[in-house]
Amino acid sequence: MERVFISGVSGYIGGKLASRLIERGDVREVVGIDVAGPRTLSPKLRFFKRDVRDPIDDILKEHAIDTVVHLAWVMPAALSSPNLAPLMADPTSVLAMVKA
């Protein structure tokens, strides 16, 4: 686990995980995507403002990612909101990530 990719890195768990991984000597780089701005800043963290439903093959390949943690999600209660519902990560995005 040297190069870790986190979807939803600006969220509660994603931010905490990124901070813990950044402290580890065996982790060289943490790469995160989110539709919201990052809550953790570090030279070891590369952040991309990207929707998890869009292709991310370029990021995974460019950064030679060996570990993927998928944490992008929208709270179920938010699904009734017309503004937040479109952000719900659908299963095809997870499959695309695994495939890449």
Ligand X SMILES: NC(=O)c1ccc[n+]([C@@H]2O[C@H](COP(=O)([O-])OP(=O)(O)OC[C@H]3O[C@@H](n4cnc5c(N)ncnc54)[C@H](O)[C@@H]3O)[C@@H](O)[C@H]2O)c1
Give whole-number Cα distances, 12 to 7, 32, 63, 66, in Å.
Answer: 12, 13, 24, 23
Residue number with CB closer to ligand X (1 or 36) = 36
Find the residue with minimal CB distance to ligand X.
11
Whether residue 63 contacts residue 3, with contact meaning beta carbons closer than 8 Å, is answered with yes
Residue number with CB closer to ligand X (34 or 60) = 34
Residues in region 10-39 near ligand X by CB under 6 A: 10-14, 33-36
How many distinct helices (H) and strands (E) make up the chain? Answer: 3, 4
Residues of the shown chain interacting with ligand X in the complex, contacts defined by CB under 6 A: 7-8, 10-14, 33-36, 51-53, 71-74, 87, 89
